[in-house]
Amino acid sequence: MACGGITISAVSVSIDPQALFSDLGLGEPLLEALQDKGYTHPSPIQAQAIPAVIDGRDVMAAAQTGTGKTAGFTLPVLERLRHGKPAGRGQIRALVLTPTRELAAQVLENVRAYSSHLPLRSDVVFGGVKANPQINRLRGGVDLLVATPGRLLDLHQQGALHFDQLECLVLDEADRMLDMGFIHDIRRLIRLMPVKRQTLLFSATFSAPIRKLASGLLHDPVHLQVTPENQTARSVEQVVHPCDMARKSDLLSHLIRAGDWRQVLVFSRTKHGANRVADRLSKEGLSAAAIHGNKSQGARTRALQGFKQGNIRVLVATDIAARGIDIQQLPHVVKLDLPSVAADYVHRIGRTGRAGETGHAVSLVAAEEALLLKAIERLTGEELKRQTVNGFEPTVLKAPPLDLSGGRKRPPGKPRARNAPSSTVRGRHR
């Protein structure tokens, strides 16, 4: 298949449900680490990606959230690294780029778990925290570094790290990085790296921008796609509760109490909305915290850890948490607001029903969001089940669509100012 100047080899692999990690070419230290975690059978994306990466191929992979893709690139990259020379002073041998701090921290957690029997050095760098401790840790060299693009560029410009020994580049959640405006940072970083390297691109979709990006990065890549694009996980029960906009918070509180939900991830469209809902739930005796871009890194980390450990019952988030946050067996995800981009719906509900577990995804939908709901159903190719909750029946059945421009609408025909700030600047240190 031709893709923007490159040829992609479409790969269709028949996955043996009885296949073992030991069949995929991983060495004993990695198999021991997998055994420590209780993992024996690879997921489809792991079964396809691991042999291809170990073989040295560039890979372009589409996999929905919760399919085990992080291990799909982490394990084979570690396998390749363990046979090479350690990183020199200030050097990096393998680099994983991620769009958010939370995802970066999560990937490092996986890297360290899988490399627990290997003498490899790994670390993470991202914005929102002081750079000096990161600079100090990088001086001795790092075999595998996980980073967000903006902070990585800053550290390189300060001479804290170099790419001369870079063997492998991984772009994780590449579509999200493009959405967040990181394309210019990514291209600047690419120009600093050796041309001869292995490149792995993982994305939820193979959209036109992703294919364009791949055309300049990948050499004769293996093309992997384990699920149809934009298809939601079949293990997730999805339901829409119609209600009035003004009663969404009331309905949310009712659902949590009536169902005795002990762990709930709630998505809010805005940071202010996330704060407001978390404060209200806390006042009602339901332990809750908000997580979004205006929170300090410390506050975000504490909220997420508290949620994972069960100390916080409800985590209210903006889309910063939609990707990459791995919460084991998360039973409930609630969309308090439908996302303005239909594809984000798939990623939101992908927080539940992970790795074969069942999940419950609820959307509270007002009349003002009718067009957003239609866009989601068109994208996924399925009509979502409507279910009215007694006592919360909607009184507003038709309403003008929500204005999602944030007051930034331009008069018809008026172009954007040439010197307007780019999304790269806005999104750099998320």
Q: Quick: pLDDT tens for 180-206.
A: 889 999 999 999 999 999 999 998 778
Look at residue 189 and tell me if it is in a domain: yes
User: Are 207 and 256 within one domain?
Assistant: no
Of all residues in the chain, the percent with pLDDT exceeding 90 is: 55
pLDDT of residue 16: 56
Judge contact between 308 and 283, C-beta under 8 A. Answer: no
pLDDT of residue 117: 97
Check whether 232 has a pLDDT greater than 70: no
Alpha helices (H) along 115-228:
132-138, 149-157, 174-179, 183-192, 208-217
94-103, 224-233, 362-371: which range is least confident on average?
A: 224-233
Which residues contact residue 372 at a Cβ distance below 8 angstroms, ignoring those fewer than 6 apart? 338, 339, 340, 342, 401, 402
pLDDT of residue 234: 47
User: Are 150 and 61 within one domain?
Assistant: yes
Judge contact between 420 and 270, C-beta under 8 A. Answer: no
DSSP state of 23: G
SS3 of the chain: helix, strand, coil, percent, to 5: 40, 15, 45
Look at residue 302 and tell me if it is in a domain: yes
Nearest to 361 by CA among 429, 264, 426: 264
User: Are 243 and 279 within one domain?
Assistant: yes
Q: How many helical (H) and strand (E) elements, i.e. helices and strands, does the chain have?
A: 15, 17
User: Are 379 and 249 within one domain?
Assistant: yes
**Could you list the residue range(s) of the whole structural domain that residue 285 is in?**
236-386
User: Are 181 and 264 within one domain?
Assistant: no
User: Are 211 and 265 within one domain?
Assistant: no
pLDDT of residue 190: 94
pLDDT digit string (tens) for 360-386? 889 999 999 999 999 888 887 888 899
Give the span between the Cα atoms of 430 and 293, in whole angstroms. 6
Cα distances (angstroms) measured from residue 148 to each of 108, 180, 212, 335: 12, 12, 21, 27
Look at residue 321 and tell me if it is in a domain: yes
Look at residue 429 and tell me if it is in a domain: no
Give the span between the Cα atoms of 29 and 80, in whole angstroms. 12
Residue 346: pLDDT band by 50, 70, 90 thresholds? Answer: low
Average pLDDT over residues 398-422: 53
Check whether 420 has a pLDDT greater than 60: no
User: Are 117 and 265 within one domain?
Assistant: no
Give the span between the Cα atoms of 53 and 68, in whole angstroms. 15
User: Are 187 and 290 within one domain?
Assistant: no
Judge contact between 230 and 343, C-beta under 8 A. Answer: yes
Which residues contact residue 418 at a Cβ distance below 8 angstroms, ignoring those fewer than 6 apart? none
How many domains would you assign to the chain?
A: 2
Last residue of a domain, one of 174, 204, 225: 225
Read off the amino acid at residue 187: R
In terms of C-beta density within 10 A (0-12 exposed, 13-18 middle, 19 or more buried), how is residue 86 classed?
middle
Work out the angle between the directed axes of helices 28-37 and 101-114 (0-180°, nearest 10): 110
Give the span between the Cα atoms of 190 and 344, in whole angstroms. 27
Strand partners, 3: 6
Look at residue 169 and tell me if it is in a domain: yes
Look at residue 404 and tell me if it is in a domain: no
Last residue of a domain, one of 386, 405, 421: 386
Average pLDDT over residues 150-165: 96
Judge contact between 71 and 354, C-beta under 8 A. Answer: no
Residue 406: pLDDT band by 50, 70, 90 thresholds? Answer: low
| DSSP states of 265-280 | EEE-SSHHHHHHHHHH
Residue of higher predicted confidence among 122 and 429: 122
Last residue of a domain, one of 225, 245, 267: 225
Give the span between the Cα atoms of 126 and 103, in whole angstroms. 10
User: Are 266 and 164 within one domain?
Assistant: no
User: Are 199 and 243 within one domain?
Assistant: no
In terms of C-beta density within 10 A (0-12 exposed, 13-18 middle, 19 or more buried), how is residue 397 classed?
exposed
On average, the pLDDT of the chain sits at 83
Q: What CATH number does the domain containing 66 carry?
A: 3.40.50.300
User: Are 110 and 185 within one domain?
Assistant: yes
| DSSP states of 274-325 | HHHHHHHHHHTT--EEEE-TTS-HHHHHHHHHHHHTTS-SEEEE-GGGSSS-
User: Are 171 and 55 within one domain?
Assistant: yes
